[in-house]
Amino acid sequence: MPRSTKPSFVLELPLKIDSKQDSELQARFNAAMRLYNNVLGESRTRMELVRNSGAYQTAKKISRTQKKERSDAFSKAREAYRFSDYDLQAYANRAAKDSKWIAQNIDAQVQQKLATRAFKAVERVLFGKAKDVRFKVESRFRSVEGKTNKQGIKWQNNHVVWTGLKLPAIIDPNNEVIKHGLSSPVKYCRLVRRILNGKRRWFVQLVLEGLPYQKPQNYVSDGLIGLDLNISNIAFVGDKKAGLLPFAENVPTLEQEISVLQRKMQRSQRVSNPDNYEPNFWSQVGRKTVVKQGKVKKGKRQWKKSANYRKNAQRKRELERRKTAYARSQNRCIVNEILRYGKHIKTEKVSVKGWQKRYGKAIFAKSPGFVQSELKRKAEIADGSFTKFSTHKTALSQTHLTGERVKKSLSERVHYDKTGVAMHRDLFSAYLSRFVNDEDNLLLHLAASQWALHSARKGRSALTYFCPLLSQ
């Protein structure tokens, strides 16, 4: 019988930690990091044995139409080299007992959860979803979690209890979100370590059973939404409202401050590591002859990092963290704004990863992929839907209401339809996406009839009906 899955959400609370507890948590996180890296290395070794085995190669040759036979063959190849979640959990428990120090710092529940985490990371490589695994260093190992709220890391009486440690949480009794979360059953706890403004801070994330608190202004309507995702904005067309919303609006760029710190870091590296750079050289720039700095030498190098370099690097990380936090906060407002007009969403199947290769800095600053994933998550939680369709089959940006297709360059932001309609390109694509069926076919006759209906309504144009602000 499959395990019943119930909805869950996360409530994060800051912890009040003294210096002794901070040192103890640091030691436990260090032990957890070393165990994770150990299990990760063992998992990768077993994966390579499975992948190079004859049984696995034979299983790959079985037709995908024979699902059961193919699945059973892959399972036997895994079992031969004990490459499974439970086998690696048993390995983690043995490795922790052998080291003694790890077993003294982290309990069996956390050990098993670390093994599951390592197994899933290696399994992604086996399935071709990742190229390789990453072993953790202290700055990149930020969380540990338990399996249940009965053993190991537990939440009791507004405290985190973990084998001798009792960590009080900072709770605002007037916060409705926190009150709703604390009234829900706790599935398990996760401890998180972060560096904020150069100082180490500790948080607990309670994974709770049920649905998260919904603020009154963030209601979700039962309507159809057509989307057109772009690099810097998103166009949506609903039953009663349409709009063109920019990503990460009013977010401080902090580019000047980051550039100043980068120049300081570069100067520090050149002074501390002169042997790692080519010699400076004279170069003709126009009528002037200027000195240009040498490039970094190729090959293996060792870098010395001064105290000033580390201090500036920490300041730069803090500015980038703040910038990302501001952008996510603003983008979540966009998601809530769209869901107010509908929870059944249709959009083109675009590759944000492809955009990253061409528009790396813009994607990092605006985060269109985050908006798309949040829309999908929140729509599905509200019993809505999130449907993607092929861009090649529909070609919405090229399609006219008459059925003709005319290619446009990216710089052309206004769509001049053959019927005489002029509308923003992204908004028109979002409107057409409402009429794409489950077979990725654009029902253009419905789009044209609906457009004519809205144009005739009260003597207004369809553009004014859908987005009056853009018609001015």
Is the domain of 27 the same as that of 168? no
Over the stretch 166-187, which tens digit does the pLDDT of each residue have? 999 999 999 999 999 999 999 9
Q: Are residues 26 and 96 in the same domain?
A: yes
Tell me the CA distances in angstroms from 205 to 195, 246, 363, one per residue in order: 16, 31, 28
Q: 328: which residues sit within 8 A by CB, 6+ positions away?
A: 367, 370
**Maximum distance among all Cα pairs of the chain, rounded to whole angstroms:** 81
**Residue of 278, 283, 310 lying closest to 297 (CA atoms):** 278
The reply to whether 190 and 155 lie within a common domain is: yes
- Distance (Å) of CA 379 to CA 47, 283, 341, 350, 374: 36, 58, 11, 19, 8
Tokens in use for 143?
């969380």
- pLDDT tens readout for residues 375-413: 999 999 889 999 999 888 888 888 888 888 888 888 888
Among residues 116, 136, 156, the one where a domain terminates is: 136
- Are the CB atoms for 290 and 283 separated by under 8 Å? yes
Q: Which residues contact 200 (CB under 8 A, 6 or more apart)?
A: 22, 193, 194
Given this model, what pLDDT does residue 86 score? 95
> For the stretch 47-71, what's the b/e string if a residue is b when 16 or more beta carbons lie within 10 angstroms of its beta carbon?
beebeebebbeebeeeeeeeeeebe
Write the burial class of residue 111 (CB in 10 Å: 0-12 exposed, 13-18 middle, 19+ buried): buried
Q: What average pLDDT does the structure give for the chain? A: 89
**Same domain, residue pair 207 and 157:** yes
| The pLDDT value given to residue 240 | 85
Selection from 233, 127, 302, 251 nearest residue 467 by Cα = 233
The string of DSSP codes covering 281-294 is EEEEETTEEEEEPP
The total domain count for the chain is 3
Residue 466 in this model has a pLDDT that exceeds 60: no
Q: pTM for the whole thing? A: 0.83
Task: At 152, list the tokens.
Answer: 């190991």
Query: For residues 263 and 150, what is the distance between their CA atoms, to the nearest angstrom?
Result: 51
Instruction: Give the other-Cβ count within 10 Å of 133's Cβ.
Output: 17
Domain that holds residue 163: 1-16+138-213
- Asked if 102 and 28 sit in the same domain, the reply is yes
Asked whether residue 376 falls in the same domain as residue 448, the answer is yes
Q: Does residue 350 form part of some domain?
A: yes
Determine the Cα–Cα distance for residues 367 and 327; give it in Å rounded to an integer. 8
Q: State both tokens at 93.
A: 């428990």
Q: What is the pLDDT of residue 3?
A: 58
Q: Is residue 302 part of a domain?
A: no
Closest residue by Cα to residue 106 from 75, 147, 63, 54: 147
Contact 8, 187 (CB under 8 A): yes
pLDDT digits (tens, 9 = 90+) for 118-175: 999 999 999 999 999 999 999 899 999 999 999 999 999 999 999 999 999 999 999 9
Task: Clarify whether residues 151 and 221 are in a common domain.
Answer: no
